[in-house]
Amino acid sequence: MQSVKIIDTCTLINIFNSLDFDLSSCLEKYRTVITNHVVWEYTRKIPRQIPKCISVVGMSEEGRALVEETEYLLPRLGIGERSSFVLALEMASSDSSIVVLSDDRDAVKKFSDLAKNDLISSRFPGSDKIIWGDTMSLVGKFADEGRIPSSYLDRARRILGA
């Protein structure tokens, strides 16, 4: 089963701009994706390039409409977080393991609760199997697998205040 990592804007910034080490080679093992909305948020104030290990994927028309609808349900959350969640819902019925990486704890709590909701799970089969993580869990996984030095985990904790 292939693992798909969906990254929201805050996590993209933390992984590629806040940390003082490069995780690109580690992410190449996975299908790592972001939405057009995340690209917009990531590049709108500071000109930045999207790392080559990341693919930008679109959403269905229904998905785009759902992103707009969630603005009223979850007004505090940005369009990057909301679009990442909707993309996860759309991909949940695939044969892939879907992992959403978000450093916004409030967003993760709300989205994981929504994904388990009966109405959502009937509309998006497999949504209850979405895995939730953040930058620190990703760095920890790579350190445990020996793909980065374990000292990077302590550095990440200091940098991100985790």
CA distance 150 to 143: 5
CA 103 to chain centre: 8
**How many domains does the chain divide into?**
1
Q: List the single range of 54-68, 85-99, 108-122, 128-142 with lowest mean pLDDT.
A: 108-122
Range of the domain at 156: 3-160
**CA nearest to 14, candidates 79, 103, 80:** 103
Region 113-133: mean pLDDT is 88
**CATH number (domain holding residue 12):** 3.40.50.1010
pLDDT digits (tens, 9 = 90+) for 11-41: 999 999 999 999 999 999 899 999 999 999 9
